[in-house]
Structure 1
Amino acid sequence: MRTTNEKQVLQQIVNAGPISRSQISRNLCLNKVTVSDIYSQLLSEGLIREVGHGVSTRNGGRKPVMALLNVGYGYVISINILRSRFSMITCRLDGRSENYQSVSTRDVDLTTVLDMIDERIAATIAASETKLLGISFGLDGVIYDNQILGASLKGFKNFDLAKYFSDKFQVPVVLENLANESAIYERDFSGKGVYNNLISVTIRDQVSAGIITEGHLYRGHNGEAGNIGSCPLADRYEEKTSDTVNHYVAERPVLQKIMAYQKLDRVDVNRIRRDYLGHRPELLAILDEFAFYLAKVLGNLSNTFAPDAIVVNAPILELLPEIMDKVRTYVDSMAIMRKAPMILTKNAKEASLMGGASAIIHKALALDDLQLTFGNQRSAVLEEVES
């Protein structure tokens, strides 16, 4: 375990690198000897590397040595498990993702799915020149203290997924639900302080909300916060009738309605887009229902939590982003006090995967309780500019 000072020095190098020891000392109000000792330790561990000299002060003197996180130290793997597929990326310690894979698991049992994931991880390790530092898993359900307390997928509830893969590959494993992973992504990859209070609504097998308050993920009692898919929602036409949010808004019911009118047994995204642009009335009616009920969900979240923004992550909205305008119109018509900005994620395909990568990077660097900001590396000025 790292000391508080060690954590803060490493956090500075991750978030603000390339950076000098003297600048770290000033930023943290730590004496230079303490910072130099920690810096030397991190350098000997191979976690950081020196990249040249920065600009000297106006008073002259030696140019400071600049340091960066050593992204070649190792990598992490992030995996999302859904109803009929799993997706996987490898990620460097600076948050750069590589090798996206999506694997169908349709009509495959749990044991076979685990074997398929095992094989993909083993193949990645065999092909890599650096070491695996950790694995993260994301799935729909209730997850608390790295345990699956509830899951939409059969066989996963109370199965110790973290221990299973930690024992196999001898690395730390982090479990999180997809909505929380998406919220972590928006917090850590959008820039420092952009979203200190946000809600990320993920629409997959279930409708879930990841909640960030004052920069920290809020999980609630036993990880049950954000489990909005099971909440009741009044029917649009008969107020005395209600069903769950999942029934009206989750991905599967919406796609089933679309496949039914198209008389198809699979999802044809090109046909959906073509029918939308052609103003096919059956499709427009289904999407209007979806927009109406989603607006109810987002409006209630906005009024209840007063976030800086609500970010929506849904494949149907990635395919048809125009629907979001209708959602906003429905929200605007609601008699609520707080109407937060409602935006689509910029990375629907990988948002939860990247959020999972951030979670395991935090764990691998022993920085669980500190915020890291990725995709924010500054260019180092390695030589003094001549006037």
Structure 2
Amino acid sequence: MDKPYVIGIDVGGTNTVVGIVDKRGQILKSDSIKTGKHSQVEDYLDELSDLIDDLIAGTTTKDQIKGIGAGTPNGNYFTGSIEFAPNLPWKGVIPFAQLLEDRVGIPVALTNDANAAAIGEMTYGAARGMKDFIVITLGTGVGSGIVVNGQLVYGHDGFAGELGHVIMRRHNGRLCGCGRTGCLEAYSSATGLARTAREYLELKPDIQTRLRNIPADDITSKDVFDAAMAGDEMAKDIFKFTGEMLGEAFADFVAFSSPEAIILFGGLSKAGNLIMDPIRESMERNMLPIFRNKVKLMFSDLKESDAAVLGASALGWEVRN
């Protein structure tokens, strides 16, 4: 029996987005839930399976769904488990694919959320036709999907490509959610940018900024963006620092795999040239001469969440029945 649909799930640190996708890569219907609403993963999976059932009921029937693909933080493609994800409320090893499959009765496969975004870009977005590229997701954390010779890089254990956890500052580095200090994610994620804002406010007490009108612990990356767009110099400096850190890291990533492009995806990429200009300048300044001016820096071509949902859904066509 022909099964013309799959389901893609993007499990983010803040939201989980679910979409029903057809063979042309069209998202027919989608909805979301809050990822961190439940402290117990069983309660979260109950809500997620209810959402899946509701989407199917409003679109098609369960026997028309070929499979479910999920993109999750620290998702292991080989085992179907989420393993020690620092930005999720559930700790340890979670057999996510099996637990969800038991609830909904549809086969489930999963991969790292950034890998899913890379598959989405390669199939439907900015990386169409490319065989060597890196997708960097800038959200609650910093994720990466690395494609070499047209193949996603998984490594021997399924966890290759944790570029958000390269160590940028060994001395007095910030504590990262992974438990180490100095990781790129601690500086250049949306939460890292907000941490920079709080540091700047404390270290530069004489500089006037509209960010002082917000309680320091409540400042978000959106607040910094709004201030920068209004001409606030400190806010612009915060984006400059964040972009310079990313550019420094990107120069190292290029030396590893010589990608045709690095594609930025996720909430922080909405800052546009505020983040892109300092990234580009820093990347080229720190680049080995043989790589300079060869690597494209691009924003995702796909709408918010679509890349991860579409990329995850591609796994749904390959699951067993």
- Aligned match for 1:161, one of 91, 96, 111: 96
Runs of 5+ consecutive residues of structure 2 not aligned to the other structure: 174-181, 202-210
1:90–1:99 contact (8 Å) kept in structure 2: yes
2:18–2:52 contact (8 Å) kept in structure 1: no
TM value normalised by structure 2: 0.81
Q: Distance in 2 between matches of 1:360 and 1:341?
A: 30
Partner in structure 2 of residue 101 of structure 1 = 31
| Residue identity opposite 1:245 in structure 2 | L
Structure 2 residue 295 is the aligned partner of structure 1 residue 343? no
Q: Distance in 2 between matches of 1:139 and 1:184?
A: 14
Question: What is the deviation of 1:256?
Answer: 4.5
Structure 2 residue 84 is the aligned partner of structure 1 residue 150? yes
Structure 2 residue 92 is the aligned partner of structure 1 residue 140? no
Partner in structure 1 of residue 205 of structure 2 = none
Question: Following superposition of structure 1 onto structure 2, how do residues 353-372 of structure 1 map, counting pairs within 5 Å?
Answer: 353-363=309-319
Deviations 1:9-55 (A, max 9, x none): xxxxxxxxxxxxxxxxxxxxxxxxxxxxxxxxxxxx4x4xxxxxxxx
| Residue identity opposite 2:72 in structure 1 | L
Give the 3-state SS of the residue equivalent to 1:316 in structure 2.
helix
- Aligned match for 2:7, one of 52, 73, 77: 77
Question: What is the deviation of 1:241?
Answer: 4.5
Partner in structure 1 of residue 232 of structure 2 = 280
| Residue identity opposite 2:85 in structure 1 | A
Q: After the TM superposition, which parts of structure 1 deviate over 6 Å for at least 4 consecutive aligned residues?
A: none
Question: Following superposition of structure 1 onto structure 2, how do residues 21-170 of structure 1 map, counting pairs within 5 Å?
Answer: 45=1, 47=2, 73-109=3-39, 110-130=41-61, 131-145=64-78, 146-152=80-86, 153-155=88-90, 157-170=92-105
| Residue identity opposite 1:263 in structure 2 | I
Partner in structure 2 of residue 221 of structure 1 = 156
Q: Distance in 1 between matches of 2:70 and 2:91?
A: 12
TM value normalised by structure 1: 0.68
- Aligned match for 2:188, one of 249, 273, 279: 249
Deviations 1:130-183 (A, max 9, x none): 422211221211514122233122325322111112122222101111110111
Give the 3-state SS of the residue equivalent to 2:89 in structure 1.
coil
Structure 2 residue 308 is the aligned partner of structure 1 residue 352? yes
Distance 1:331-1:202 versus aligned 2 partners, 3 A rule: same
Distance 1:333-1:191 versus aligned 2 partners, 3 A rule: closer
Question: What is the deviation of 1:273?
Answer: 4.3
| Residues matched between the structures, number | 290
Give the 3-state SS of the residue equivalent to 1:232 in structure 2.
coil
Distance 1:209-1:268 versus aligned 2 partners, 3 A rule: closer
2:49–2:104 contact (8 Å) kept in structure 1: no
Distance 1:248-1:178 versus aligned 2 partners, 3 A rule: same
Give the 3-state SS of the residue equivalent to 1:223 in structure 2.
coil
Distance 1:129-1:81 versus aligned 2 partners, 3 A rule: closer
Distance 1:137-1:126 versus aligned 2 partners, 3 A rule: same
Structure 2 residue 231 is the aligned partner of structure 1 residue 298? no
Q: Distance in 2 between matches of 1:170 and 1:107?
A: 24
Q: Percent identity?
A: 20
Partner in structure 2 of residue 11 of structure 1 = none
Q: Distance in 2 between matches of 1:244 and 1:95?
A: 35
1:140–1:205 contact (8 Å) kept in structure 2: no
Distance 1:193-1:319 versus aligned 2 partners, 3 A rule: closer
Q: Distance in 1 between matches of 2:276 and 2:70?
A: 29
> Is 116-125 or 150-159 further displaced after alignment?
150-159
1:186–1:195 contact (8 Å) kept in structure 2: no
1:142–1:150 contact (8 Å) kept in structure 2: no
Higher relative contact order (CA 8 A, sep 6+): 2
2:247–2:280 contact (8 Å) kept in structure 1: yes
Distance 1:106-1:222 versus aligned 2 partners, 3 A rule: closer
Partner in structure 2 of residue 8 of structure 1 = none
Q: Distance in 2 between matches of 1:250 and 1:193?
A: 26
Give the 3-state SS of the residue equivalent to 1:301 in structure 2.
helix
Q: Distance in 2 between matches of 1:114 and 1:300?
A: 38
Q: Distance in 1 between matches of 2:183 and 2:246?
A: 12
Deviations 1:197-250 (A, max 9, x none): 111111223322211111111101312211122221137xxxx54411111112
